[in-house]
Amino acid sequence: MEQQPEARRDAPPQHAVDSALITEPVDQADESQFRISPRIEDWIGVIVMALLVLITFANVVVRYLTDESFAWTEEFSVFLMIVLALVGGSAAVARDRHIRIEFFFERGSEARQRRLAIVSALAVAAMFVALAVLGVRITWDEYSYGETSPGIGVPSWWYSIWLPVLSACIALRALALAGRNVRALKALHAARRDGAGHMDASREERRP
């Protein structure tokens, strides 16, 4: 009886949904499996969020005290929010934490789940490769025509260049995720072959 509280304390966190207990999801890969840790995206996201808070707070204080606001804050805040979304997307792809339709994904064998994960990761990679290519074209056009931002008049490509860069990062993360699932699928097939081989060997030994 005394061991039950300890077991509950060590159990993974759970939450109730429709009167059912659902275990919190865990990352699909350990940090050791990443060549480049997704903590880089985490720290970039923290820095960007801190900048957003500071800029917004400073703008509110200045507007309250002087009835004016910094002209550059809205433009720069929009840029930072886009960067934050892309960086967060990169971290989510690296850890395989993007939303999916679990009804289809979790039905079937583990091998089927791995195949679906590979297809999903390749689709994500293809999408962001296309977005990176289009982003390069947009950035080049803005650079060629000398377009400037409407708020503070800086070159527009200073902002748009980060779209292809971060899109390429997400595509690379998706390809790495697909590679991990391919290796896991191969290991699963190898384990099944070994298991089948052991079963055949045991049957041969049992024969008179």
> What number is the average pLDDT over the span 48-59?
91
| 187 in any annotated domain | yes
**Are 135 and 88 in a shared domain?**
no
Distance CA 199, CA 188 (A): 17
Q: How many whole angstroms separate alpha carbon 95 and alpha carbon 166? A: 16
Question: Both 87 and 156 in a single domain?
Answer: no
Q: Is residue 138 part of a domain?
A: yes
189 with 112, same domain?
yes
Report residue 207's pLDDT band, with 50, 70 and 90 as the boundaries: low
| 8 A C-beta contact, residue 137 and residue 183 | no
Q: What is the mean pLDDT of residues 53-78?
A: 83
More confident residue, 147 or 191: 147
* Residue 126 included in any domain: yes
Strand-pair partners of 17: 20
> What residues does 20 pair with on adjacent strands?
17
Q: Report percent pLDDT > 90 for the chain.
A: 41
Contact between 80 and 160 under an 8 Å Cβ cutoff? The reply is no
Measure the CA–CA gap between 190 and 185, rounded to whole angstroms: 9
| Other beta carbons less than 10 A from residue 203's beta carbon | 9
Residues 123, 154 within the same domain: yes
Q: Among residues 125, 32, 29, 42, which one has the least CA distance to residue 91? A: 42
Percent of the chain residues topping a pLDDT of 70: 77
What pLDDT score was predicted for residue 22?
Answer: 34
Beta strands in the chain (DSSP E): 14-17, 20-23
One domain, residues 120 and 188: yes
The backbone torsions φ and ψ at residue 155, rounded to the nearest 5 degrees and listed phi first, read -55, 135
Domain range for residue 72?
39-95
Rg for the chain, CA atoms, rounded: 25
Query: Average pLDDT, stretch 118-140?
Result: 95
Specify the number of domains making up the chain. 2
Q: Which of 49, 71, 95 is the last residue before a domain boundary?
A: 95
Count Cβ atoms within 10 A of the Cβ of residue 143 and give its class: 0-12 exposed, 13-18 middle, 19 or more buried: middle
Lowest model confidence (mean pLDDT) among 9-23, 80-94, 136-150: 9-23
Of 27-31, 114-118, 161-165, 167-171, which range is least confident? 27-31
Confidence of residue 31 (pLDDT cuts 50, 70, 90): low
Q: Is 34 part of any domain? A: no
Same structural domain for residues 91 and 116?
A: no
Q: Which of 95, 116, 134 is the last residue of a domain?
A: 95
pLDDT of residue 39: 87
Instruction: For residue 5, tell me if it sits in a domain.
Output: no
Residue 123: inside a domain? yes
Give the end of a domain, one of 60, 95, 130.
Answer: 95
Say which residue, 26 or 67, is predicted with more confidence.
67
Instruction: Looking at the structure, tell me whether residues 65 and 138 fall in a common domain.
Output: no
Is 90 exceeded by the pLDDT of residue 50?
yes
Residue 203 has pLDDT above 80, yes or no: no
State whether 113 and 168 are in the same domain: yes
Are 50 and 124 within one domain?
A: no
Residue 186 sits in the same domain as residue 155? yes
Distance CA 170, CA 16 (A): 33
Question: 119 and 86: one domain?
Answer: no
Comparing 9-18, 41-50, 70-79, 84-93, which segment has the lowest mean pLDDT?
A: 9-18
